[in-house]
């Protein structure tokens, strides 16, 4: 899939990444599994799965159609070849499709969510529902793409899943004849009109250099023979920002409408997803041999750690994160012109009366905790028990988003203060 790499682009000064104009980021399996579980906690298992499936079908359809247009995949065989190669290249496992204009079936191996869920929890937790809503959405979108069907007409049901201890993953595809109303597209062109002015902060030269090196490194990373990307001590995915954003905001808005008293709980859960991201993805990267080779092992200096986290965020496509202020042991201010959440919210929903950068809020809190409370020179193991010791009970730091472009502010800002 060397022909895909040239289709990557970066929005200069904003560190948002795109493939054929479609936004993507890198996240690891710890974050992905927690994200999906948070949706089920907020919405219930059945509605959570529906929201994930629809968001995946929409985001994957956008990507497949964009790639098909750029690469000239105009016939069903050409489209089928592109669809079969794309998912493993992105680190989501492999999927074999058999489609017609009425539906079909798909068989998956090492699908990211089911595979990583079994690897992480399989020996101690028994799952009751299939794990691969994202792959189901991809299979439905691929069927529509291959057969030239309107978007939203194919539904996919996962009737076997390795997370349920089935021998493999299998999906039944069915055409409903009811196309869904298309939502405003959130792509590079739309994003360019929604970003603010470029910002610079503390330790800018170091952050920019590491981010550029990390971005070059991940360009050379793709799925192995299983379609899995095992790097930095985690299972990495090249994932679609629009999937994450649609699922989060549809869940939040559903709770706002139906159970407003529970909104603070739902928002706390989605902030914790950002905490999980920094602890697991950023933390394991910092401790990995790959990071040591690119940058060097963490010294344990809090400022260096915060600087490194900003570089990781930029390199993975989260946005142009900067350290705007830092008072050692007392306060830090994290800013970005936008993060990957803001353009989606503005394009799909318009202005908000409150800050909406849930991942950024949780990430800023986790950065402060990891910088000041983890002994990095001792190469700690980032276990679930260690996570709970840092983030359960009274956390030593508190974060508040004070600026957000979704409500008309010039940039994103999260202030983190020691309690």
Q: Which of 135, 140, 59 lies closest to 91 in space, CA to CA?
A: 135
**Distance (Å, rounded) from C-alpha 414 to C-alpha 366?**
12
pLDDT, tens only, 27-68:
999 999 999 999 999 999 999 999 999 999 999 999 999 999
Determine the pLDDT at residue 1: 56
**Distance (Å, rounded) from C-alpha 333 to C-alpha 180?**
42
pLDDT, tens only, 383-402:
999 999 999 988 999 999 99
Q: If you average pLDDT over residues 191-220, what whole number do you get?
A: 94
Provide the whole-model pTM. 0.96
Instruction: Give the list of residues 6+ apart from residue 100 with CB closer than 8 angstroms, or none.
Output: 147
Distances (CA, A) of 14 to 96, 217, 313: 37, 19, 11
The pLDDT mean for the chain works out to 95
**Distance (Å, rounded) from C-alpha 22 to C-alpha 265?**
31
Task: Catalogue all structural domains in the chain, each as residue range(s) with its CATH number.
Answer: 5-175 (3.30.1380.20), 195-228+259-418 (3.30.1380)
Residue 395 DSSP code: -
Write out the two tokens for 143.
Answer: 């069927």
- Give the residues across from 401 on adjacent strands: 414
pLDDT, tens only, 259-278:
999 999 999 999 999 999 99
């Amino acid at each position: 899939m060397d022909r895909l790499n040239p289709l990557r682009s970066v929005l200069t000064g904003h560190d948002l990444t795109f493939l054929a104009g479609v936004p993507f980021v890198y996240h690891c399996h710890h974050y992905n599994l927690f994200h999906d579980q948070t949706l089920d906690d907020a919405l219930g298992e059945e509605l959570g799965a529906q929201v994930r499936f629809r968001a995946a079908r929409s985001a994957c359809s956008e990507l497949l159609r964009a790639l098909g247009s750029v690469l000239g995949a105009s016939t069903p065989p050409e489209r089928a070849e592109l669809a079969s190669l794309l998912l493993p290249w992105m680190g989501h496992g492999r999927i074999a499709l058999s489609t017609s204009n009425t539906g079909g079936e798909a068989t998956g191996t090492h699908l990211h969510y089911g595979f990583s869920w079994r690897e992480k929890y399989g020996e101690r937790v028994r799952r009751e529902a299939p794990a691969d809503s994202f792959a189901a959405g991809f299979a439905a979108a691929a069927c529509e793409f291959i057969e030239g069907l309107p978007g939203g007409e194919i539904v996919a049901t996962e009737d076997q899943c390795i997370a349920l201890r089935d021998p493999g993953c299998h999906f039944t595809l069915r055409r409903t004849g009811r196309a869904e109303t298309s939502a405003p597209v959130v792509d590079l062109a739309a994003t360019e009109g929604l970003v603010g002015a470029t910002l610079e902060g503390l330790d800018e030269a170091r952050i920019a250099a590491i981010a550029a090196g990390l971005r070059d490194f991940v360009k050379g990373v793709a799925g192995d023979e299983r379609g899995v990307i095992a790097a930095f001590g985690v299972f990495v995915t090249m994932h679609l920002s629009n999937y994450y954003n649609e699922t989060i905001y549809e869940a939040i808005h559903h709770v706002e409408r139906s159970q407003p008293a529970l909104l603070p709980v739902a928002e706390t859960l989605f902030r914790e997803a950002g905490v999980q991201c920094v602890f697991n993805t950023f933390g394991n990267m910092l401790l990995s041999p790959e990071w040591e080779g690119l940058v060097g092992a963490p010294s344990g200096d809090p400022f260096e750690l915060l600087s490194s986290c900003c570089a990781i965020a930029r390199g993975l496509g989260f946005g142009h994160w900067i350290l705007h202020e830092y008072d050692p042991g007392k306060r830090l201010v994290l800013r970005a012109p936008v993060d990957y959440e803001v353009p989606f919210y503005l394009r799909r929903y318009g202005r908000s009366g409150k800050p909406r950068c849930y991942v950024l809020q949780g990430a800023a809190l986790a950065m402060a905790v990891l910088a000041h409370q983890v002994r990095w020179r001792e190469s700690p193991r980032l276990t679930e028990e260690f996570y709970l010791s840092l983030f359960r009970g009274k956390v030593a730091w508190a974060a508040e988003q004070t600026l957000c472009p979704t409500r008309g502010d010039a940039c994103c800002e999260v202030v983190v203060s020691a309690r």
